[in-house]
Chains A and B, each alone.
Chain A
């Protein structure tokens, strides 16, 4: 079991309150996912030539200042580092591949959570309330986000195995359910040179969809290929630069409910995570149909 939440704010005035609005949604899903939590938030983009690298280490005493020095000394380019406990956002104009290789060579203990221009990713073990407090989710702002609370069923409880999963830039996915063929999907993708970081089933689905889209499929086509290849139960919520997308497996084995309001669109596994939203009684509530793709644009 896991919990999923998503929030897209249509009313521009509410964008500064994105984290505050989301927090009761995430905490509302604690019963469905008490062991880890995470989210991806889409905010103001960095300039076109820059990228944000979201980094995580379990070591709270990690010397980020030294990393900044080393980065400049080795690569001859300044990196801006914004720190939140053991999570950092490194912003630089250097080419992403160069940065990724350098990080892997010099700081292999760091986990690269995401690369992109708008998206920040936080994920860690602990209850949703603990993770939210650790990274100050309440103060987050932006246009949209996807969140997840995890109850692990198929791989270990570690920060890396928490959701969201990302592949490519500014794209992420959270999953409630379980896939029955992640190993064969992973092997198939590894033969194509796609690298994996965990043995988690969701990562296999995430990299499969990202691979299809890199091969030229749009999200809808990629998901229809997913219906054929990915065997199992799932409600998937995806975030892109400017949209949220939701899909449920053909048997609708995992729940989802949507609230469409003039000010926002909110998605959750269960209504109890939507109950605290402002004026939710005037929102249009509905349950998404199985095997149908729902997309909301910013």
Chain B
């Protein structure tokens, strides 16, 4: 397997290689050594490939990813897989704030905990978190699914649009307009599919469904501004 060392090249050189020469290769497998918390590692990939990051990443790891399968063998900083379009990003450790922010597609798997604002403004991405998520997760999430195998912090799903949350543990509090709804057969099937992709062996029956009550969809002149 091809190996690039961030002690020897800059992250800009790495990303330019990933954008230009790497997609032309026949064997698109690559490992990145010594990430040491550097920002923007493997951002903007647009090719079917397997990329392994051997250590902890900084901010925006795998941002804007399209098609590639990126695995971080460690933790990541803010905004992992932000604005991802397709493909997969897997974090073996924990993820800091705003994981999967604004993601349009693909799957983000976080085996540990995710911090605050996980899935903020997501637009079609699926996120599966093995541990807990922090406060304000799924804030203003428009489409896609967030699966939380642990607990959720305060204001889960505040101002949700069409995204759906499946949570297995305790929810500290729901955000404005988020509500618990009954699980349907379609929910169980969708959840099982996501848990299988992530490789988490939980029973879908243990999860609750949180979605938008849609009371904020239209302006209510009688609401007395009490949101």
CB-CB nearest in chain B for A289? B134
Note all chain A residues with C-beta closer than 8 A to B39: 272
Q: How far is the CA of A253 from the CA of B30 in the complex (A)?
A: 34
**Complex contact B97–A255 (CB within 8 A):** yes
Asked if A252 and B37 make an inter-chain contact with CB atoms under 8 angstroms apart, the answer reads: no
Are the C-beta atoms of B56 and A255 separated by less than 8 Å? no
Q: Which of A262-292 contact B (CB under 8 A)?
A: 270-276, 285-287, 289-290
Contact A272–B38 (Cβ < 8 Å): yes
- The dominant DSSP class at the A interface is loop
CB-nearest residue of chain B to A248: B116
Instruction: Flag if A287 contacts B58 (CB, 8 Å).
Output: no
Tell me which residues across on chain A come within 8 A of B94, comparing CB atoms.
285-287
Check A272 against B116 for contact (C-beta < 8 Å): no
Q: How many residues of B contact A (CB 8 A)?
A: 19
Q: How large is the interface on A (under 10, 10 to 19, 20 to 34, 35 or more residues)?
A: 10 to 19
**Chain A residues within 8 Å of B93, by CB:** 285
| Interface contact B116-A271, CB-CB below 8 Å | no
A255–B96 contact, CB under 8 A? yes
- Complexed CA–CA distance, A271 and B115 (Å): 15
Tell me if B37 and A271 are in contact (CB < 8 A). yes
Question: Bound complex: CA of A271 vs CA of B37, how far in Å?
Answer: 5
Which one of A251, A272, A286, A290 contacts B37 once the chains associate, using CB atoms below 8 Å?
A272
**A250 nearest in chain B by CB position:** B135
B75 lies within 8 A of A271 (CB): yes
CA–CA, A251 to B116, complex, Å?
Answer: 8
Question: Which B residues touch A272, using CB under 8 A?
Answer: 36-39, 58
B78 is an interface residue with CB less than 8 A from chain A? yes
The one of A252, A273, A285, A290 that contacts B75, using a Cβ cutoff of 8 Å:
A285
* B37 in contact with A255 (CB, 8 Å): no
Q: A252-B97, A252-B115 are in contact. Are A275 and B36 (CB under 8 A)?
A: yes
Q: Inside 8 A of B115's CB, which chain A residues have their CB?
A: 252, 287
B105 at the A interface (CB under 8 A): no
User: Are B37 and A287 interface neighbours, CB within 8 A?
Assistant: no
Give Cα A272 to B134, complex, Å: 22
Please, could you name 8 A-B residue pairs with CB atoms under 8 Å apart, sorted by A?
A: A252-B116, A255-B96, A270-B77, A272-B37, A273-B37, A276-B36, A285-B56, A285-B75
